[in-house]
Amino acid sequence: MSTRKLKFSTPSGSPFYATLRSRVDQYFKQQQRSPHANGQMWGKTMFFLAGFIGIYLLIILGPFSPLVLLSLAAALGMFSAFVGFNICHDAIHGAFSGSRKVNRFLSFIFNLIGANPYVWSITHNVIHHTYTNIPGHDEDIEIAPGLIRVAKEDDINPIQRYQHWYAFPLYSLASLSWVFRKDYVKFFRKSVSAHTGSHPRMEYFNLFFYKALYYFLFLALPVMVMDVSWWQVMIGFLVLHFAEGLTMGLVFQLAHVVEGTSFPSPNAQGKMDEVWAEHQMHTTANFATQNRLMGFFLGGLNRQIEHHLFPKVCHIHYRDIAVIVRQAAAEFNLPYIENKSFLAALRSHYLILKKFGMEASDNSRIAAKAAERAASAC
């Protein structure tokens, strides 16, 4: 992971974002709407929090059979992802409310699904949103280094020939890694991509205190109060995280690692050819935008183009401003990448995995033959 800071071209050469931002601002003024949460958004918040807490209490207190408990554990895993998508994601971006206190309070819910909001604010808000799909800088496309290859700059491993088959089971491990490894590694690393600097002292306490609280609520407490064995609790915990990890992994990858999106690299001077907003149009994709049920559960993450251009606008408004974004993209001859359905996006992601996996296999064979020729020449 590179620590070199990159520079994008100055926006003076392209009025796209200035024009788009002016039109979106005008839309909110004309509609007399706030870009933050409305009544519908607060209703969603109550629904997902009630579902998350309710399922947890059913597992802890309900007299259910092991099979029912496993089903509830999977449901809790999915609701954990939905809480992250719909509530915490907006709050950590500062998009949920105009009040910093409200955003900070809702951000802390992230701890209850096992993730650290402070680390996420750096790796996602700062790094991913700035260096989207840039190999060596955007850690979100480093899915499983050495095992998953999605850009030509990624390391080559012969096993990647089969990555289009084993990638999806690997996604199921994403939240387990987050809970036990990822946050700690990133927090204590000297630098995360181009972000350097020490952390506030309070964040050290928050990291360890809320991780311990999560381990207590989801591992220790069930063993203490449920009429099941400790190993049954562990199985339920794993099922929870397999469901959560797969839900998270699929949604995140379908927004950036699909056909049509690019993985650009800077020049020798560390400068990108495009301005930042145009870069987002080439590296980000929407999917299933006409599916209202999917839009409800995914918290606007199926409208990643609008989210990347306006991360401080609550996702409840993305459907409305998407019309403005699409029109501006057409006017400035920029792509607006979109897969019509979830299955179409899933297929596109599968084909990307297969493409880069086969390239890795071909390159490995070429390198092996070259090594054989060199050895024989000696």
Q: Where exactly are the structural domains of the chain?
A: 11-377
Mean pLDDT computed over 32-55: 97
Statement: residue 93 has pLDDT above 90: yes
Q: Tens digit of pLDDT for each residue in 289-338?
A: 999 999 999 999 999 999 999 999 999 999 999 999 999 999 999 999 99
Helix (H) or strand (E) holding 28: helix 16-31
Q: What is the pTM of this model?
A: 0.90
Tokens of 87: 């509530």
Identify the top-confidence range among 12-26, 39-53, 151-165: 39-53
Residue 35: how many other CB atoms lie within 10 Å: 18
Whole-number pLDDT of residue 192: 61
DSSP bridge partners of 338: 286
Higher-pLDDT residue of 13, 70: 70
Statement: residue 377 has pLDDT above 70: no
Mean pLDDT computed over 42-59: 97
How many residues in total does the chain contain? 378
With H, G, I as helix, E, B as strand and everything else as coil, classify residue 7. Answer: strand
Whole-number pLDDT of residue 3: 54
Q: Is 260 exposed, middle or buried (0-12, 13-18, 19+ CB in 10 A)?
A: middle
Q: Tens digit of pLDDT for each residue in 157-182?
A: 888 899 989 999 999 999 999 999 99
The mean pLDDT of the chain is 90
Q: Tens digit of pLDDT for each residue in 95-114?
A: 999 999 999 999 999 999 99
Confidence of residue 60 (pLDDT cuts 50, 70, 90): very high
Tokens of 58: 């059913």
Q: Tens digit of pLDDT for each residue in 111-161?
A: 999 999 999 999 999 889 999 989 888 877 777 777 888 888 778 888 889
Cα distance between residue 128 and residue 141, in whole Å? 9
Confidence of residue 43 (pLDDT cuts 50, 70, 90): very high
Mean pLDDT computed over 1-22: 78
Tokens of 354: 């297969």
Residue type, 95: A
Q: Which residues of 170-200 are buried (b: 16+ CB within 10 A; e: fewer)?
A: bbbbbbbebbeebbeebbeeeebbbeeeeee
Whole-number pLDDT of residue 136: 81
Statement: residue 370 has pLDDT above 50: no
Cα distance between residue 128 and residue 338, in whole Å? 20
Statement: residue 91 has pLDDT above 60: yes
Q: Tens digit of pLDDT for each residue in 187-219?
A: 988 766 555 567 889 999 999 999 999 999 999
